[in-house]
Structure 1
Amino acid sequence: MPHSTPGIPHSTPGIPHGTPGVRENPQTPAGKPWSRAIDVHHHILPDFYLDELETMGVRTILPGVDRPTWSADSSLAMMDRHGIRAAVVSVWPGVPAGLEPKPAAEFARRVNEYLAELVAAHPGRFGAFATLPIPHTDLVLEEFEYAVDTLGLDGVGLVSNYAGLYVGDRSMDPLFAAAARHRSPLFVHPTVPPSTGQPNFGLPASLYEFPFESVRVAAQLLYNQTLERFPELPVILPHGGGGVPFYAGRLSCGGLISAALTDRLPEDPVGSLQRLYVDIAMTGDPHALAALRSFAPANRILVGSDFPLMPESYTLDTGHRVVRHGGFSAEERTRLDHANAEGLFPRFTGKDG
């Protein structure tokens, strides 16, 4: 996926204004899909982070994908062009799996302190998801408390699996419990699956595997009844929930396939999955948008740009298509633009929010 291109025009070709049956938002400036949006899917790639990964032998964050460039100024400029008031940023993919406990904890601490400095330097424009030294449970909990209570970060950024440990695993319950107590959102971004020897067809895994990674996480959360056991735990799945909207009904059929799975399901399996939050990144095409709107309640949908891992022109087009063709009422559009995110991130609920 190519990096964003600065200086794109403020209008998006191919999206007609005044589409029949779709109310335009008079508060949204021309050419901008949003008015006061809070972007919850916004990557940052500080130079020190990429340099540190390279010293560990991690030469690319995602094989087969062009390496994007990033700076705080580029994020802010993009946000202004899109009508995005604030972004809750994440360093993806965070701390690499497989590090020994001490270097993993030190790396997480350095990233989180950088995030806190970035937020402090741009009041009202940035929040941040902390990164954690998974799977080292004691250090994970220690860093979580430091990141949230001392640094004031806004939640936790996770990847779908850490060398095969998927984040819906019951071993993650201590983190879930801590996050639920703080009502700290968990942003679970897909990553490359841990399989070895799997043909890749000469294509990057992000192109087709990422939606299935989100399904794998959702299946674990469902059959471990995680959201029922931790009802105050907000979990965000990006890219419209990946494949979850299409697979939600199928995932609820476990008891029909094996009677032993019946007791593992919550009473309302699809309703349980609909408690997940999703963002609108990469959901602008008619098929994805229809699935998103059919599955996700309007109070569970958030703005997400996927900047800078997707081109800005694509992100802008997605925003326009979601707003204009998603069938949102005026109230639902306000929820999507910022109100849903404000409910998750108190930082942005001040009088200027």
Structure 2
Amino acid sequence: MPESTAAPASKPWSRAIDVHHHILPDFYLGELENLGVATILPGIERPTWNARKSLDMMDRHGIRGAVVSVWPGVPATLEAKPAAEFARRVNEYLAELAAAHPGRFGAFATLPFPHMDLVLQEFEYAADTLGLDGVGLVSNYAGLYVGDRAMDPLFAAAARRRSPLFVHPTLPPATDQPGLGLPASLYEFPFETVRVASQLLYNQTLERFPELPVILPHGGGGVPFYAGRLACGGLISPPLAERLPADPVGSLRRLYVDIAMTGDPHALAALRSFAPATRILVGSDFPLMPESYTLDTGHQVVRYGGFGAEDRARLDHGNAEALFPRFTGKDV
């Protein structure tokens, strides 16, 4: 008999694996303050965090495990040595957190961009020695976007290990954009994800590294709406046609997305139209989004997303288990 994936009415999930779960350790925030970084995101109140808060939230939502990330990671303005030391401290903390809570936490490594030689060294240490589960990236590092060919050495190393890359948006690099009197994350983050996807598409990254899993949060940002438009490059400039894969939209649909902030009917319709059920993952965005909002999002996706029983199990845990072997072990 297939295992039940039914959840109590108060919980949207039953055995879920949350791939979009932020942590904000005190030492990390303290180090950012020492570096003169007053806030992780202008215009946003900084939530408090500890492991107990994450575990309690997970239990309330029916989330069995979370692959956590320290966002936004190591500032790209740091010189090589302090950047590498900062990344190492974060990654060792992540490994200790996962070891202290078997089956509950995995982690995306933080890397010392833009220093590519140190990025590769730290990735190998994080993956092969610490046993972390993938890499947490931001959309750009002082203007170097994640889809750039300069990232190929990391893509190759991650593809060899089938290590997922979780690419969270951050602020765009331009310093002279009008602020509109609103937090930039409110409207810029979806476009940041589109920028990353456009590079991945026109550099044929997924074709060149077919074993590389790439996760775009927030339902892929603006990608579901823009996928067809992004495929039109050859119509606008004929030389761009040579840079496109044979099936541009099909290439973009190979990306993984999570369901964070996709519970409203318009976003959910776009997500379900664009992403195959085998590419959709649970994501809470905890604690940067209020838990009540995250809970509502989960319920909306489950109730109105049109998932049959098999696809519902994929969303809840099956897709993530295929990406993160940690959660198929005996301690789960």
AA partner of residue 115 (structure 2): H
AA partner of residue 82 (structure 2): P
Percent of residue pairs identical: 85
Aligned to 2:126: 147
Q: Comparing 306-315 with 27-36, which one deviates more in the overlay?
A: 27-36
Tell me how far 1:351 sits from its aligned partner: 4.4
> Would you say how many aligned residue pairs link Structure 1 and Structure 2?
329
- The whole-number CA distance in structure 2 between the counterparts of 1:136 and 1:194 is 18
* SS of equivalent residue, structure 2 residue 64: strand
RMSD value, Cα: 0.8
- 1:199-348 equivalences under 5 Å are 199-348=178-327
Residues 1:82 and 2:30 are matched in the alignment: no
Query: Would you identify which runs of 4 or more consecutive aligned residues in structure 1 move more than 6 Å?
Result: none
- What do residues 151-172 of structure 1 show as CA deviations (whole Å, max 9, x unaligned)? 0000000000001000100000
- The whole-number CA distance in structure 2 between the counterparts of 1:197 and 1:186 is 30
Tell me how far 1:26 sits from its aligned partner: 6.8
Tell me how far 1:212 sits from its aligned partner: 0.1
- What do residues 196-231 of structure 1 show as CA deviations (whole Å, max 9, x unaligned)? 211111101110000000000000000000000000
Aligned CA distance change for structure 1 residues 40 and 270 (closer, same or farther; 3 Å): same
AA partner of residue 252 (structure 2): L
Tell me how far 1:264 sits from its aligned partner: 0.2
Q: What residue ranges of structure 1 are gaps of 5+ in the alignment?
A: 1-24
- The whole-number CA distance in structure 1 between the counterparts of 2:76 and 2:185 is 18
Equivalent of residue 183 in structure 1, options 149, 158, 162: 162
Residues 1:51 and 2:30 are matched in the alignment: yes
Query: Does the 8 Å CA contact 2:88/2:122 hold for their aligned counterparts?
Result: yes
Aligned to 1:120: 99
AA partner of residue 258 (structure 2): D
Q: What residue ranges of structure 2 are gaps of 5+ in the alignment?
A: none
* SS of equivalent residue, structure 2 residue 289: coil
State TM-score, norm by structure 1: 0.92
* SS of equivalent residue, structure 2 residue 215: strand
Aligned to 1:10: none
Aligned to 1:16: none
Query: Does the 8 Å CA contact 2:5/2:15 hold for their aligned counterparts?
Result: no
* SS of equivalent residue, structure 2 residue 67: strand
AA partner of residue 114 (structure 1): Y
- The whole-number CA distance in structure 1 between the counterparts of 2:105 and 2:329 is 14
AA partner of residue 242 (structure 1): G
- The whole-number CA distance in structure 2 between the counterparts of 1:55 and 1:46 is 14
- The whole-number CA distance in structure 2 between the counterparts of 1:112 and 1:247 is 35
* SS of equivalent residue, structure 1 residue 209: helix
- The whole-number CA distance in structure 2 between the counterparts of 1:98 and 1:229 is 30
Aligned to 2:73: 94
Aligned CA distance change for structure 1 residues 126 and 260 (closer, same or farther; 3 Å): same
State TM-score, norm by structure 2: 0.98
* SS of equivalent residue, structure 2 residue 37: coil
